[in-house]
């Protein structure tokens, strides 16, 4: 009676998002996804006729977009940009330790796995990253007038964050993420200083 209508399709996508993020693409079986989603196995192919690939593509695009928005919202929650960067990396570190080093980037593991083996999924990950770079570029452009510099900062923040996730998860230690935050703050400070001294590079 009035059960919350959990929506099988969403439950499957949600379980797949968690499992792909934590165990990767090859490391996650459809059977496990169905079990974790408390959904019948056949429902996967009912809602995702393209099978594992289609499910993964939707997971990549959806969770990628959500994660990008989450990070942007985090950056906007602190007024000073340099402090904001440090705060965002600290928040990532806190979340990582709070989830026992499970929840880092939602798509990085899959991105590395499929880069050379599945063209559809590779393009999906590339487009997610491109979206992040574009959004980050706009954010940094608020503090750095030179568009090229803003774009480089966006690239660098995403890259050092991804690398920090790799090292922090491997070592089960949040320290790499904190170091990454300080380095990124340093880069931003330098860019802002330079813009002040000689506008437009």
Q: Which is nearer to DNA, 30 or 72 (CB)?
A: 30
Instruction: Tell which residue, 5, 58, 9, has the closest CA to residue 37.
Output: 9
- Taking the least distance from each CB to its own copies, the nearer of 47 and 89 is 89
User: Count of CB atoms within 10 A of residue 67's CB?
Assistant: 17
Question: Which residue do the tokens 């487009």 mark?
Answer: 127
The option from its own copies, DNA, none interacting with 52 (CB < 5 to 8 A, set by class) reads: DNA
**Nearest partner of 81 among 154, 9, 130, judged by Cα:** 154
Burial of 171 (0-12, 13-18, 19+ CB in 10 A): exposed
Q: Does 70 bind its own copies (CB under 8 A)?
A: no
CB of 101 to DNA, least distance (A): 22
Q: Which is nearer to its own copies, 46 or 172 (CB)?
A: 172
Binding at 67: pick from DNA, its own copies, none (beta carbon under 5-8 Å per type)? none
Is 184:163 a contact under the CB 8 Å cutoff?
no
172 is a contact residue toward DNA (CB under 7 A): no
Closest CA to 143 of 95, 196, 96, 98: 196
Task: List the interface residues with its own copies, window 125-154 (CB under 8 A).
Answer: 125-126, 129-130, 152
Contact 184, 160 (CB under 8 A): yes
Please give the residues from 45 up to 64 whose contact with DNA meets the rule CB under 7 A.
45-47, 51-53
The answer to whether 170 contacts its own copies (rule: CB under 8 A) is yes
> Could you give the 3-state DSSP secondary structure of residue 136?
helix
Least distance CB 64 / DNA (angstroms): 20
| Window of 37-45, 47-55, 73-81, 101-109 that interacts with its own copies by CB under 8 A | 101-109
Task: Determine, following the binding rule CB under 7 A, whether residue 95 of this chain makes contact with DNA.
Answer: no
């Amino acid at each position: 009676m009035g059960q919350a209508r959990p929506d099988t399709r969403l439950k499957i996508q949600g379980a797949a998002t968690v499992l792909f993020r934590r165990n990767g693409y090859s490391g996650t079986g459809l059977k496990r996804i169905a079990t974790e989603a408390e959904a019948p196995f056949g429902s996967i192919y009912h809602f995702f006729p393209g099978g594992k690939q289609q499910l993964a593509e939707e997971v990549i695009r959806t969770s990628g977009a959500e994660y990008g928005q989450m990070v942007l919202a985090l950056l906007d929650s602190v007024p000073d940009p340099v402090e904001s960067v440090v705060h965002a990396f600290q928040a990532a570190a806190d979340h990582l330790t709070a989830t026992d080093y499970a929840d880092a980037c939602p798509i990085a593991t899959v991105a590395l796995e499929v880069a050379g083996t599945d063209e559809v999924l590779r393009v999906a990950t590339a487009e997610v990253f491109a979206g992040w770079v574009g959004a980050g570029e706009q954010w940094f452009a608020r503090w750095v007038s030179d568009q090229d510099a803003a774009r480089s900062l966006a690239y660098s923040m995403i890259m050092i964050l991804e690398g920090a996730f790799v090292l922090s998860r491997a070592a089960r230690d949040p320290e790499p993420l904190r170091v990454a935050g300080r380095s990124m703050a340093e880069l931003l400070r330098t860019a802002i200083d330079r813009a002040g001294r000689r506008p437009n590079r």
